[in-house]
Amino acid sequence: MKLKRVVVTGIGAITPIGNTLQEYWNGLINGVSGANLITQFDASKFKTRFACELKNFDPLNYFDKKEARKMDRFTQTALVSSDEAVKNGNLTAENINPDRVGVVFASGIGGLITFQEEVINFANGDGTPRFNPFFIPKMILDIAAGHISMRHGFRGPNFAVVSACASSTNAIMEAFNLIRLGKADIILAGGAENVINQAGVGGFNAMKALSERNDDYLTASRPYDKDRDGFVMGEGAGSLILEDLDHALRRGATIYAEIAGAGATADAHHITAPHPEGLGAKNVMLSALQDAGMEPTDIDYINSHGTSTPLGDIAEVKAIMDVFGEQAFKLNISSTKSMTGHCLGAAGVVEAIACIMAVQHDLAPPTINHFTDDPELDSRLNFTFGKAQHRPIRAALSNTFGFGGHNACVIVKKFVA
Catalytic residues: 165, 305, 342
Q: Interhelix angle for 347-361 vs 167-180, to 10°?
A: 60
Is residue 196 packed enough to be buried (19+ CB in 10 Å), middle (13-18) or exposed (0-12)?
buried
Q: How far is CA 303 from the centre of its chain?
A: 11
Which one-letter DSSP state was computed for residue 130? -
**Torsion angle of alpha carbons 62, 66, 67, 73, nearest 10°?**
70
For residue 147, what are the contacts with CB-CB under 8 A and spacing of at least 6? 71, 75, 78, 79
Distance CA 21, CA 296 (A): 29
The residue count of the chain comes to 417
Pairing of strands 101-106, 36-37: unpaired
Which one-letter DSSP state was computed for residue 99? G
Distance CA 398, CA 157 (A): 25
Is the separation of the CB atoms in 349 and 189 below 8 Å? Answer: yes
Is the separation of the CB atoms in 127 and 95 below 8 Å? Answer: no
**Torsion angle of alpha carbons 369, 374, 379, 381, nearest 10°?**
-60
